[in-house]
Amino acid sequence: MRRTWSLLFSLLLLTGCALEAPLLRLSLGQEEVRAREGETAILPARVEARGLRARLFVEGLPPGMTPPPLEVEGKEELSLAIPAREAGTWEARVVAEGGGARREAPFRLVVESASSQDLYLEGAVYVGEAEAAPQAAGVLRYCPTGCSGRPLGGGWYRAEGLQPLASRTEGLPDRPVRAQGGEAEPLFPEEWNLPLARFPEAWAEATGEGVVVAVVDTGVLPGHPDLEGALLPGLDLVDGDTDPTEPVVSPLQTFHGSHVSGILAAAWNGVGMAGASQAQVLPIRLLTPEGTGRESDLILALRWAAGIPVPGLPPNPHPAQVVNLSLSGEGPCSPALQEALDEVRARGVLVVAAAGNYGRDYRDYFPGNCRGVLTVGAVGPDGRLASYSNRSAPLLAPGGDGASGVLGPTLGGHRLLKGTSQAAPHVSGALALLRSRGVASPEALEGALLAGSRTIPEGRLLDAFAALEALEGGGVALRVEGQLVLKPGEEGSLAVEVLSPYPVPVRVAAEGGLAAYLAPNPAQGTAHLRVRAPTGTAPGAYRVRLEGGGAWATAEVQVEALPARVVLSACSEGGACRSLALPPEGGPFRLEGLSPGTYRLLAFLDRDGDGALDPEEPRGEAEARPPARGVRLLVR
């Protein structure tokens, strides 16, 4: 008799679970926002659009003060930027519409008049002659964070004309190339999922041959052409024998275990579809054709798959290096299940589990919420999180969404199914590719998957080819994106991704006297590389090398020469000074928030960009009392 405390598992098929009804919610962080005239009012809003796409907009404000509408999907915390262009008080509302539903949240906007007592000095600096220098040709653009071109101050830049790119096609080799591996299978063109996870690129480096992956599921169809030569002798924990063949009992059967096995390892034999790898499948029948099973049997299956002796079961002559669990049960990880998983992990075996198809947090479902399990959510062909997939899983893979499912074997042919059940074998197949490159620790393999994955808004998407590259770094990857451009005396920051299953100490070495450090260090996830170019650093290209966990990356730092500029300084009678920089040809200026009294203004052409007035540099002086417009300084 089997123990009575067993739990039922749910097959993670879209057709087998009831998805939640569409939901639209809207709330505001405050009922009243205030700003001064000419500023921007910030209104916090929270929107939850589940199972639909909503349009968010504001009603009840004057023209020119309404922020642009937004498209929202899922749960988002937003900050609505409202231009406070005129003084007054308005009763307005934020509206969310979608799926036939409309939600409104009222708020009050109070815009206060700018004080007439503000003290300012406004005018222009001219260099060399009394008239303003003519502007150079180009397009005026507003770039608050900086852009290419000549800075004009206040976030405005004059972008000069771009030069056309030179042809890059001359002298390239033209040797013939052809599809390799699974790309030659007849049904490969229908498998959108494999290119999305970059398996075809990875097959040139590894195929997964010789790696054993246990598929704990409903059993398999051993006579299916796509599974020919891929199956090892397995186990049946439902009927209690060594024949894991799934019986045919209903026309509604999906033959879930065969479908998962085909995604993982369908043979590249010129018939049917291509598997993600050419691993060998160790089938363990745990679930009935209806998709039910017991946690106690799952614990036995895990130990047997890893080659751990289990009383009452025959020895396993083909221990697995990877275990695929396209199943889940609701609730926390039990101590007994966690103990079995710890034993399996200690043997170097990685366990991959489906996140679940309930649109909830994956941590509400076992075994995906157990320690040491690599849990996988699902994305559709567009690379976005599938509507049914449980959220927050550490890794995402193709599982299908909408009208697009994942191709896999079934009785008499193939069919499309959707679910995190279909996403999990992609990750198991990628692990088979990695294991076939040589012996590596579970931490290194898991780190390589995370290191090679691509960042999308909902998480990290599997990239089999990049995972193979990351494995060369020991399963740790360091990523630095972009280039830092500094001037002598400036400091800047670049984001660095440290992708690893554990915090990694990172060594930082900078060229040319640059000062650089990483924070935090040791790092896991996102860290920040701070770089400073000391005063006197010669212009040129420099590198900062980062090394950790066997991986390395390089940050490129360009130090530019300090350009000529006009420096304007305004000092009060009490000695307090305000300064700003203008283009070398001068231009308009405005100094605000000044104190009453007389100000002495000095403007000079800072030819060497050092910020100090040198004897040979042109200068001009004036006096003014705020508020004042039309202040004029001539630098010569």
* pLDDT value, residue 87: 81
Tokens of 451: 């290191």
H/E stretch holding 33? strand 32-36
Residue 537: what pLDDT? Answer: 83
Q: How far apart are CA 484 and CA 460, in angstroms?
A: 25
- pLDDT per position as a tens digit, 54-70: 999 999 999 889 998 99
pLDDT value at position 118?
65
Higher-scoring residue by pLDDT: 475, 246: 246
Of 226, 236, 256, 258, which is the active-site residue?
256
Tell the burial category of 176 from Cβ atoms under 10 Å away from its Cβ (0-12, 13-18, 19+): exposed
pLDDT digits (tens, 9 = 90+) for 291-318: 888 999 999 999 999 999 998 899 999 9
Compute CA distances 54 → 43, 95, 175, 258, whole Å: 18, 10, 50, 39
- CATH top-level class of 477-559: mainly beta
Measured CA to CA, the distance from residue 599 to residue 313 in angstroms comes to 93
- Residue 443: the pLDDT is 82
Which pLDDT belongs to residue 502?
Answer: 76
- Does the pLDDT value for residue 162 go beyond 90? no
User: Contact at 8 Å (CB) between 411 and 249?
Assistant: no
CATH 3.40.50.200 domain extents, the chain: 188-473
Rounded-to-integer distance, Cα 543 and Cα 527, Å: 18
Nearest by Cα to 107 from 44, 156, 149 = 44
The per-residue pLDDT for 20 is: 56
Q: How confident is the model at residue 9 (pLDDT cuts 50, 70, 90)?
A: very low
Residue 445 has pLDDT above 80, yes or no: yes
Average pLDDT over residues 199-215: 95
Model confidence pLDDT, tens digit, residues 579-600: 888 888 888 898 888 887 889 9
The first and second tokens of residue 78, run together, are: 């937003």
Q: Is the pLDDT of residue 39 over 60?
A: yes
State yes or no: pLDDT of 15 exceeds 50. Answer: no
Burial readout 253-285 (b: 16 or more C-beta within 10 A, e: otherwise) = bbbbbbbbbbbbbbbbeeebbbbbbbbbbbbbb
**What pLDDT does 89 receive?**
92
pLDDT-derived band of residue 159, with 50, 70 and 90 as boundaries? very low
- Taking residues 99-112, report their average pLDDT: 91
pLDDT at 245: 96
The C-alpha atoms of residue 429 and residue 273 are separated, in whole angstroms, by: 15
Domain 23-112 has CATH 2.60.40.150: yes
CATH 2.60.40.150 occupies which residues in the chain? 23-112
85: Cβ contacts below 8 Å, ≥ 6 apart: 37, 38, 62, 64, 65, 111
Torsion angle (degrees, nearest 10) of CA 282, 286, 291, 296 = -140
- Cα within 13 Å of Cα(309), Cβ side: 1
The pLDDT value given to residue 178: 27
For CATH 2.60.40.10, list the domain ranges present in the chain: 477-559
**For residue 136, pLDDT beyond 90:** no
- pLDDT at residue 319 greater than cutoff 80: yes
* Of 315-329, 375-389, 412-426, 620-634, minimum mean pLDDT range: 620-634
- Please tell me the predicted confidence (pLDDT) of residue 114: 55
Paired with 555 in beta bridges are 544
Determine which one of 10, 217, 436, 606 is catalytic: 217
SS3 label, residue 453: coil
Distance of CA 196 to the CA centre of its chain: 15
**Quick check: pTM over 0.85?**
no
**141 vs 85, more confident:** 85
Token pair of 603 as six digits: 């403007």
Q: Is the N-terminal amide bond of 520 cis, ω within 30° of 0? A: yes
Which of 10, 387, 389, 421 does the annotation list as catalytic? 421
pLDDT value at residue 242: 93
| Ranges 175-184, 353-362, 407-416, 457-466: which has the least confidence | 175-184
Residue 304 token pair: 């047997």
Tell me what pLDDT residue 325 has: 97
The predicted pLDDT at position 277 comes to 97
Mean pLDDT of 145-172: 36
- The predicted structure's pLDDT at residue 120: 83
pLDDT at 536: 73
- 224 part of the active site: no
Q: Are 493 and 530 in contact (CB under 8 A)?
A: yes
Q: Encode pLDDT of 252-297 as tens digits.
A: 899 999 999 999 999 999 999 999 999 999 999 999 998 888 999 9
- The answer to whether the peptide bond before residue 176 is cis (omega within 30 degrees of 0) is no
**Mean pLDDT of the 472-494 span:** 83
Kindly report the average pLDDT of the chain as a whole number. 84
Per-residue pLDDT at 132 exceeds 60: no
CA distance 562 to 357: 57
Selection from 7, 4, 20 nearest residue 330 by Cα = 7
- Using an 8 Å Cβ cutoff, are 270 and 183 in contact? no
CATH number attached to the domain at 188-473 = 3.40.50.200
Q: State the DSSP string of 280-298.
A: EEEEEE-S-TTS---HHHH
Cα distance between residue 443 and residue 433, in whole Å: 16
- Quote the CA–CA distance of 258 and 337 in Å, as a whole number: 25
Spatial contact of 396 and 423, defined as CB atoms under 8 Å apart: yes
Give tens-digit pLDDT for 540-568.
Answer: 899 999 998 878 889 999 998 777 889 89
Q: Tell me how far apart the alpha carbons of residues 356 and 347 are, in angstroms, rounded to a whole number.
A: 26
pLDDT band of 615, cuts 50, 70, 90? confident
List, for residues 375-406, the tens digit of each pLDDT value: 999 999 999 999 999 999 999 999 999 999 99
Does the pLDDT at position 154 exceed 50? no
Cβ-Cβ contacts under 8 Å for 171 (sequence gap 6 or more): none
Give the C-alpha separation, 231 to 234, whole Å: 8
pLDDT at 117 over 90: no
pLDDT at position 134 is 30
Contact 108, 91 (CB under 8 A): yes
DSSP state letters, 565-630: EEEEEEEETTS-EEEEEE-TTEEEEEEESPPSS-EEEEEEEETTSSSS--TTS-EEEEEE-SSEEE
- Per-residue pLDDT, averaged over 440-445, amounts to 82
Mean pLDDT of 105-128: 79
Distance, CA of 202 to CA of 261 (rounded, Å) = 19
Q: Between vectors from CA 44 to CA 80 and to CA 386, what angle results, nearest 5°? A: 85
Backbone angles phi, psi at 474, to 5 degrees: 80, 20
